[in-house]
Amino acid sequence: MKKEISASVTVYLCLVLGIMLSFTFTVLEAARQQVIKAEIEGVMDIGLFSVLGEYHKQLLERYDIFAIDAGYGNKSSKTKQLEAHLQFYLNKNLKKEGSLFYSQGADLTKLSCDGVSMKEYLLLSDNSGQVMREAILNYMKHKKGSLITNILDRNYESLENQENSGSEGRSQWREKSSEIKSLIEERNRERKEDEEPIVPDNPADYVETTIEEGILGLALPSGKEISAQSITKSNYFSYRANREGEGNLAFKSSSLNGITKKTYLEEYYFAKCSYFNQEREDSLLKYQLEYLLQGEEKDQDNLEKTLQRILLIREGINLSYLMTDSQKQAEAETMALLISVACLMPELKEPLKTVILFAWSYAESVKDIRILLDGKQVAATKSDSTWNTPLSQLLSFTSHLGEYKCVENGMAYQDYLKFFLWTTNEQKLLSRFMDICEMDIRTITQNPYFSLDQCITVFQASSYFISGYGGDYEITRTGYYE
């Protein structure tokens, strides 16, 4: 006789155990996926920090700008090397051999990075250098306590007016000189055959002939050598076709007002660039601020053009003073009278007086330039006590340029450079400054391939992961410098 045994409890337990095991494994898999997600996010953040830590050292040391050279010292317009570096860091941080927290075979994720792509990135050169500009402003915001200058203390409008006055004075000088020559030529045509031609002994004529020598030839201090350095502009940012970043990443625009931005940029250029009497040994062009202002290939040309502008300002200032000083007016009038009497041409008196005043102003202005090139200051406005050139020296003023009275609290050469920086087109200054960056970094690193249009400052990277247990994962993050 067979004995019947009930198995309902066993069946129930099997069913319950299957459900419990399914639930347990589902929870474990969900936990494993969360671990994978957390691990991917963690290694991605570490990888981004590692790549951002590969910023260009010399660019930071010289210009306080954070950026990654995508070429890593080579000529490259792609991001393949940057992608490879990020993938290396990701796999390095995913590797668990030797870890105290994992024994052999205990890795529940078995993750590895299968690839990286830079979908979007910004270059310092993007938008005509505006990314670089914002990087500069961001740096300057943190330095404003020590570098910012109160723009309200600057008398730039007056300097601009004086430059215009100097230019107009030159034109009037030429007109009056032509008038005098015409009068003399007319009188000489009317003279008798036995009469000597009229050749006035006018010191202003001698002064006028020296203009052709150029201000450097006249005012350069004895023993001072001018840099012979030159560049080929087509090799640099502002004169070549530049690469562009990819995607739609937008750079964060500064919230500073226009005046503050302009002041920050001027102070930054002045702090980072060399200029006459403040040259750098490791720079390609020695007169970098002058290059920013003029954009010529040769140091000498940039300095010459900058000094010409200062000369016009000084002429305007000196001429304004002469027109208000009755004693000097009388001296010029007396000289003009003597010359006109000697020529038996009283009609020459007034135009001669005018050209003598212009020539006197020019001679004094050349001496002002000599003072500036000597590293000293000139009076912002002239008075009898700060005037350096007596009328009697017009015929030999070039031999007396080293004879002058020093002033304090006047204007130095760098003050005029700051004025020119303030009044020069902002985009021109930025583009030329980026030329200077490329020149100097190439010189310092001996890397002829360095270019700002392959320097990445913001990027968006997508990384692809696979698990040894199956499953593909993707994560996208943006890397940038604060």
Which H helix or E strand runs over 111? strand 111-123
- pLDDT for the residue numbered 146: 44
Q: Are residues 73 and 148 in the same domain?
A: no
Which regions of the chain are under pLDDT 70?
1-7, 76-77, 96-106, 145-155, 192-194
> Buried b vs exposed e over 101-118: b needs ≥16 C-beta within 10 Å?
eeeeeebebebebeebbb
Residue 33 and residue 176 share a domain? no
**Cβ of 387: how many Cβ atoms within 10 Å?**
19
Tell me what pLDDT residue 194 has.
65
Say whether both 25 and 160 belong to one domain.
no
Cβ–Cβ under 8 Å, residues 228 and 299 = yes
Same domain, 212 and 329: yes
- Per-residue confidence (pLDDT) for residue 147, from 0 to 100: 47
Find out whether 171 and 360 touch, Cβ atoms under 8 Å.
no
Same domain, residue pair 150 and 184: yes
What is the distance between the alpha carbons of residues 288 and 286, in angstroms, rounded to a whole number? 6
258, 271 contact by CB (below 8 A):
no
Domain identity same for 37 and 154: no
Regarding whether 148 and 59 lie in a shared domain, the answer is no
Residues 357 and 210 in one domain: yes
Please state whether 73 falls in left (phi above 0), alpha (psi between -120 and 50) or beta. left
The span from the CA of 188 to the CA of 209, in Å, is 22
Whether 139 is in a domain gets the answer no
**96 and 179, same structural domain?**
no
Is 17 a member of any domain? yes
pLDDT of 152 reads 44
CA atoms within 13 A on the CB side of 329: 9
Same domain, yes or no: 310 and 279 = yes
**How far is Cα 186 from Cα 15, in angstroms, rounded to an integer?**
129
362 and 274 in one domain?
Answer: yes
pTM for this model (two decimals): 0.87
